Chain A
Amino acid sequence: MATSQSEVEKLVHREYKHGFVTDIEQETLPPGLDEGVIRTISAFKGEPEFMREWRLSAFRHWQTMSEPSWAHVSYPPLDFQSISYYSAPKTREQIEAEAPKSLDEVDPKLLETYDKLGIPLHERARLAGVAVDAVFDSVSVATTYKDKLSEHGIIFCSFSEAVREHPELVRKYLGTVVPPGDNFYASLNSAVFSDGSFVFVPKGVRCPMELSTYFRINASNTGQFERTLIVAEEGAYVSYLEGCTAPMRDENQLHAAVVELVALEGAEIKYSTVQNWYPGDEEGRGGIYNFVTKRGECRGDNSKIAWTQVEAGSAITWKYPSCVLKGDNSVGEFYSVAVGNNCQQIDSGTKMIHIGRNTRSTIISKGISAGRANNAYRGLVKVLPTAKGARNYTQCDSLLMGDQCGAHTYPYIEVREPSAQVEHEATTSKIGDDQIFYLLQRGLSEEDAVNMIVSGFCKEVFSELPMEFAVEAQALLAVTLEGAVG
C-alpha cells in the first residue's frame, strides 16, 4: 500500500464530533431492575393499566431468557442491575408527564445541544419541511409540525403521548410485529421502554413531509430503550428518518430499541437511519452497545417497506432490520452501509421472510472495515411454501482498509418453494493502491481520493436516502474514515 502503517495510524486518530455532555439537570431512577422499577416507570408516565401489565408480563418473560451469543461480537458480560432504566432531563416540573407545548418551553441548553448536532429542529426544520421528534435520553422533548400533520389526520407524537391520547391504536398494534417475547433485548425493551415516536398515517394519506426523530443519550449509566411504532393504513405513504448521537463516556452504555412497522394494503413505509452513537475511543474504551430489534410487516397486499441505514457509530452494533412479507406482491428492501473503524464491532444485516405470493425483496449491503474493526453481514432470506413466485436479490460487498480489520459475510438462505428465485452475490476487496494513485495523479488529495472511492462503493445505498440525509451520511462516512487509508 502506498501509505505506510504509521501514517495510517496517525490519520486514523480522529475525535468523535458529537462527544459533548449537556450540563442540565437530570431526573434519573437509581440503577437496578425489578417489578417495582417497571411500575415506577409506568406510573411516571401515567400509563393505563393495560400498558403496565404488558410491561410486567414482558419482564417476567425476559427473566426466563438468556443473552444471545451467536453474533460475531465480543464484550464483557452486561450487568443489568447496574443500569438506570429511566432518565429524564428536568427542564420543567411536569416534563415527565407532559412534553413542552412549543419550542419556547424547551430548555435553551437542550436546543443548543441540538444545534451542535446539526439537527434542523426549529426554523431550519420548518424550512426544510422536516417534522422532528427529539428523544433526549428517555423522554421525547418536542415534536415540531404536529398541527400541520394533524390536518391530514396524521398522528406524529411521542410514544408516551400516544399511550395517553390514542390508547386504542397503541393497543391494537403494539407488539404485533415484535412480540414482547421475541428476543432477549426486545423483551427487555418491552418491559422498560421509556419513550419513542409514534406515527399513524390514515387510509389513503400520503404524508406531505419527511418525519424525523433524533435520539441522544446524555446521562451516564443510563440505558436508552426507545420504542417506535409506525402504522400506515391502506394506501398510505410515509418516509421516516432516524438520527442518533451520544456523548463520549468511558463506560459502555446500553441502547436497546424496538421499532415496529405495519404496512396495510397498498401502503408504503420508508425508514431511514443514520446511526452515529459514540463508538468508543481508539482503544475500544466506552461507546454504545446498540442492540436493536427493527422489524416491519407488510401485512396487506401490494405493500412495501424499505429500510435504509447508515451505521457509523456504536462500539457494538447488533441489528437486523427485517421485513415480514405477508401480503401478496409485497416488497421488502434493505439498503445498508455499515462502517467500522478502530475497535468497533458490527454484526448487522436483515431478514426477509417471504410468506405471500409474488413477494419480492432486495438486499444491498456495503460493509467497510478500517482500523481493527470487525464488520459482519448476517442476513436471512426465508421463502415459505406459500410464497409462490417469490424473488430475492442480495448483493453484499465488503471493503477493507488496513490489514488489522475483518470483514465477514454470513448469509442464510432457506427456500421451501420451488418457484422462488433467490440470488446472493458477495465480494470482498480492498481499496486498490492503483485506484488511489490514479486519483492522486488527477490532482486529488489522498483523503479526497479515499472518500471518492468509498462514496462510489456506497452509492447504491446513498441514493436511497432522502436528499438531506444523503449529504449527512456522506459527511459522516468521511469523518468516520478520516485518514483510515490502509
Chain B
Amino acid sequence: MSEADYLEAFRSEQGSLGAQLPDWVMALRLSALGRFERAGFPDPRHEEWRYTNIRPIVKKAFKPAGDALAPLEVGVLDQHRLGVDSAVELVFVNGRLHAGLSQMQGLPDGAVVEDLGTALRSRGETLQPLLGQIADDRDSSFVALSTAFLRDGVFIGLAPGCVLERPIKLLFVSTREAQPVVFHPRILFHGGANSQATVIEHYAGMEGSASFTNTVTEAALEAGARLEHYKIQRESTQAYHIGSLHVRQMRDSSLRSHNVNLGGRLVRNDLNIGLMEPGAEVLLNGLFMAGGRQHVDNHTRVHHAAPHTQSTEEYRGIIDDHARGVFKGRVLVDRGAQRIEAHQTSANLVLSDGAEVDTKPELEIYADDVVCSHGATVGQLDEQSLFYLRSRGLDDKTARGLLTFAFAGEVISRIGEQSIRDRLEEVIVGRLPDHQRLKELV
C-alpha cells in the first residue's frame, strides 16, 4: 500500500467516522495524516532506517480492517493464549475488539480498561492531553499513520494509588485472509501517582497470516507509578509488524519493559523512553529470535532529561538461517542531567552462514557527572563451553541447544511473571535444535 493508497483509505473512512468520533479526534487524525503525507515512508538513506528496508510493506496490497468481525473459534484462539492468570483480557481480532472473546469484569475501583473508541467519546478530558502527545510522530511516519487512522485500541487508566495485583492482558490476533489486512491498534496507558500495574501486549497470528500490524503504545507514568510492560510478538512468519512504545516517566516512577520478538517476516520496534524527572528509572529487557528469512529490528531510545535518573538495558538476539537482526540503542543525556546512570548491552548470537547482525549502541552525553557504559558483542557459541559440555557426554546438537537456551535465559530470568517465563521458555526450547531432549533438560 503506497502513501497514496493510505490517503485514499483515509478519505473513505474519515467521512463515515465523523458521527462516531468527537471533533478533537477528527482534527487529530487529519493533522497526523498531513504529517504522514509530507514525510512519506522512510527509505534506507534515513539514518534510523539504515538497516531496515520497508519496501515490502509499501509494495504489498493490504486492505483496511473492516467493520465485520472475522470469525474466530475460541478453541483456535486458545492455541495462542499465554495461559497467564489475568485481571482482564481483551481480545482484538484483526485490530478490532472482540467483545465475545474478551473478559472485562473484575477490576478494582480506580482502574479503567476500556475500548479506545468508547474512551475517546466519553473521556476526552483525560485522553486529549495524552494521545499523540507522548509519541512524537515527527520521529516516525508510522506513528503519524497510526494517529491518522486512530479508532481501535484500548485505554487503561489507573487512579492515584490504584494497585492491580493481576496483569491486564491484550491479545491481538490476525487471521489468514485472502487479501491481507492492515490495522493500527493504539494503546494508551495512564498510571496515576503511585499506581501499579502489569500490562501484557501479545501479538499472535494464524499460520499463514500476512497482515500488517502498525501498533503504537503510549504510557504516562505519574510520580511513583510502576508499570511492568510486556510485548510478546509471535505473529506468523509472513506477517509485517511495526510497533512502538512511548513512555513519559515522572519523578520516582519505574518502568520494566520486556520486549520479546519471535515471529514476523519484517519486524521493527521502537521504544522511546523519557525520564523527565529525578528518580525515574527504566529497565529495557529484550530478546529476539529470527530464523528463515525473518528480519527483526529493535530501536531503543532512552532520554535522560533529569538528574538522578537511571536506565539499564540488555537486548539479546539469536539469528539463524538467512535472518537478519538489527539493534540500535541510543542513550541521550541532557545538559544538566547530572548523576545519572545508564548501562546498555547488546549481545548477539549468529548461528549460520547466511545470517547477519547489525548493531549500533549509541551514547550521546551532554552532562559530565554521569556513569554511562555500553557494550556490544556479536559472535557464535563459545567453543570452550561447547567442548566442556561434550566432554561431559552431551552430543554437539544438544550442547548447542543448551548454550543457546542459556543465552536467551539471561533475558527471560528478568521477567517478573512466573507464568510468562515458563511459557516463553517452552516456546524458545521448541525452536531450538534437538528440542525434544532439551525439554527434559531445562
Could you list which residues of chain A lie within 8 angstroms of chain B, going by C-beta atoms?
Answer: 70, 383, 385, 398, 400-430, 486
Q: B368 touching A415 by the CB < 8 A rule?
A: no
Determine whether the beta carbon of A416 is less than 8 Å from that of B356.
yes
Whether A417 and B353, one on each chain, are in contact in the complex, defined by CB atoms closer than 8 angstroms, is yes
Which of these, A404, A409, A416, contacts B374 with CB under 8 Å? Answer: A409
Q: Which of A406, A420, A426 contacts B361 (CB 8 A)?
A: A426
Closest 10 CB pairs of A and B: A400-B368, A418-B350, A428-B372, A409-B363, A424-B376, A422-B378, A421-B379, A406-B366, A415-B378, A416-B356
Cβ-defined contact, B380 with A418, below 8 A:
yes
Q: How far is the CA of A150 from the CA of B86 in the complex (A)?
A: 83
Closest to A385 in B: B353
A429 — which chain B residues lie within 8 A by C-beta?
A: 370-372
In this assembly, does B338 line the interface, its C-beta being within 8 Å of a C-beta of chain A? yes
Known A-B contacts A403-B368, A420-B378, A428-B372; the reply to A411 vs B360 at CB < 8 A is yes
- Contact assessment for A414 and B373 in the assembled complex, using a CB-CB cutoff below 8 Å: no
User: In the bound complex, do residue B360 and residue A421 qualify as a contact, i.e. CB atoms below 8 Å apart?
Assistant: no
Question: Given the complex, which residues of B lie within 8 Å of A70, measured CB to CB?
Answer: 47
A422 touches B377 (CB 8 A): yes
Q: Which B residues touch A418, using CB under 8 A?
A: 350-353, 355, 380
- Report A3 CB to chain B, min CB distance, Å: 13
Interface string of B371-410 (1 = CB under 8 A from A): 1111111111000000000000000000000000000000
CB-based A-B contact count at 8 angstroms: 114
Per the bound structure, the CA–CA distance linking A427 and B373 in Å amounts to 4
Contact (Cβ within 8 A) B364 A408: yes
- Flag if A405 contacts B368 (CB, 8 Å): yes
Residues of B in contact with A (beta carbons under 8 Å apart): 47, 51, 335-336, 338, 348, 350-353, 355-380
Check B360–A412 contact: CB distance below 8 A. Answer: yes
The chain B residue with its CB closest to the CB of A421 is B379
Residue ID in chain B nearest A428 by CB atoms: B372
**Nearest Cβ on chain B to A485's Cβ, whole angstroms:** 11
Q: Which residues of A contact B373 (CB under 8 A)?
A: 425-428
Nearest B residue to A404, CB-CB: B335
Residue of B47, B351, B364 ringed by the most chain A CB atoms within 10 A: B364
A408 to chain B: closest CB distance in Å?
Answer: 5
Contact at A400–B365, with CB atoms within 8 Å? yes
Chain A, Cβ-Cβ closest to B330: A410
* Known contacts A403-B336, A426-B374, A415 near B365 by CB under 8 Å: no
Task: Name which residue of chain B comes closest to A410, CB basis.
Answer: B362
B370 close to A430 (CB less than 8 A): yes
The answer to whether B365 and A398 touch across the interface, beta carbons within 8 angstroms, is yes
> Given the complex of chains A and B, what is the CA–CA distance between A423 and B377 in angstroms?
4
Q: How far is the CB of A382 from chain B (nearest CB, A)?
A: 9
**Could you say which residues of chain A place their CB within 8 Å of the CB of B371?**
428-429
Judging by beta carbons under 8 Å apart, are B363 and A408 in contact? yes
Alpha-carbon separation in the docked complex, A406 to B335 (Å)? 8
CA distance A401 to B367 in the complex (A): 10
| Alpha-carbon distance A389/B440, docked complex (angstroms) | 34
Contacts of A398 in B (CB 8 A): 363, 365
Are B365 and A408 interface neighbours, CB within 8 A?
Answer: yes
Bound form: Cα–Cα A430–B339 in Å: 11
**B379 and A410: CB pair below 8 A?**
no
Contact A403–B361 (Cβ < 8 Å): no
- In the complex, the chain B residue whose C-beta lies closest to that of A375 is B365
CA distance A400 to B362 in the complex (A): 17
| Min CB gap A194→B, angstroms | 34
Q: How far is the CA of A420 from the CA of B361 in the complex (A)?
A: 18
Contacts of A416 in B (CB 8 A): 355-357
Q: State the CA gap A405–B336 with chains docked (Å).
A: 11
18 sampled A-B residue pairs with Cβ under 8 A: A400-B368, A400-B370, A402-B368, A403-B335, A410-B362, A411-B376, A413-B360, A414-B357, A416-B355, A416-B356, A416-B357, A418-B350, A418-B355, A422-B378, A428-B363, A428-B370, A428-B372, A429-B370
- Which residues of A sit under 8 angstroms from B365, Cβ to Cβ? 398, 400, 406-408, 428
Taking the closest CB of chain B, its distance from the CB of A98, in whole angstroms, is 48
A421 CA / B357 CA spacing, docked (Å): 12
Residue contact B360 to A403, C-beta cutoff 8 Å:
no
Besides A385-B353, A420-B379, A428-B365, 14 other CB < 8 A contacts?
A398-B363, A400-B367, A406-B364, A406-B366, A411-B361, A414-B357, A418-B351, A418-B355, A421-B378, A421-B380, A425-B373, A425-B374, A426-B363, A426-B374
The answer to whether B372 touches A412, judged by C-beta atoms less than 8 angstroms apart, is no
Query: B382 — nearest CB in chain A belongs to which residue?
Result: A421
Q: Are A422 and B376 in contact (CB under 8 A)?
A: yes
CB-defined contacts of A430 to chain B, threshold 8 Å: 368-370
Contacts of B367 in A (CB 8 A): 400, 403
**Separation of A398 and B357 alpha carbons in the complex (Å):** 26
Instruction: Provide the bound-state CA to CA distance between A413 and B361, in Å.
Output: 9
- Chain A residue at minimal CB-CB distance from B344: A426
Pair B360/A410 contact, Cβ less than 8 Å: yes
When distances are taken between beta carbons in the complex, the residues of chain B under 8 Å from A415 are: 348, 350, 356-358, 378
- Is the beta-carbon distance between A407 and B369 smaller than 8 angstroms? no
Residues of B within 8 A of A408 (CB): 362-365
Specify which chain A residues have a CB less than 8 angstroms from the CB of B375 in the assembled complex: 423-426
Q: Is the CB of B361 within 8 A of A407?
A: no
With the chains together, A425 CA to B373 CA distance in Å? 7
